[in-house]
Structure 1
Amino acid sequence: MRYMMIIHHDDEALANAPQQELWAEYAAFNQALQKAGEGFSGGERLAPAKGGTVVRTRAGKTDVLDGPYADTREQLAGYFFIDVPTIEEAVEWANRCPSSKYGAVEIRPIVEQGRR
């Protein structure tokens, strides 16, 4: 089953993390994903939430809000796609992700279009 691992960071906790160690862990994690083979794809890191823009349209009116919208310390920071047989294996990969120490990794199944 295909899953998306959605990374949520506490920007302050991440900024205070030992940077050299963090990026070395990420390099090892990305290498492990590559070795896992087909169905595992690297992810993308997003710019901090303060640089984001939220657009909402309600009753024909467009509202634009700059910066993080969610009233939470953890903000969307990036993602990975994985393909594993069980949710337990997806949890194992999320646990290996260095970001699990500085925020949360949400696992969501991918809805396969055209498959039943």
Structure 2
Amino acid sequence: MQAAGSEDERLDRAFLALADPVRRRLVARLSRSSATVNELAEPFELSKQGISKHIQVLERAGLLTRTRDGQRRPCHLAPAALEELTAWIDGYRLAAEACYRRLDAVLATMNAAEEAKDE
């Protein structure tokens, strides 16, 4: 992520930003293509100022960037920031899966021992 601070601070900002359903919908929309504030505001019953505040939160979290294209200031999703979140989550998912695989192996051994005992 491009936002400054420690990894924990960056993760906190990103997850707090994504805790809001409007901001998650904005991220989902930007995953398809870049868009201006006006374009992002269209499906919402919020003012452009309200959408701008949500965009600022996402921008501070490093989840989106804005560029200048003449008079336009399109917003772009920051894929590297999302990859960092995915990598963080995957670390815990992989650890949990390893625990479950070990549990499955123990249960299989116990079942095999029980079946051998019954024979």
Give the shorter-chain TM-score range: 0.3 to 0.5
Give the strand-richer structure, 1 or 2: 1
With the length of structure 1 as denominator, give the TM-score of the two structures. Answer: 0.33
TM-score by length of 2: 0.32
Higher helix residue share: 2
Answer 1 or 2: higher relative contact order, Cα 8 Å, separation at least 6.
Answer: 1
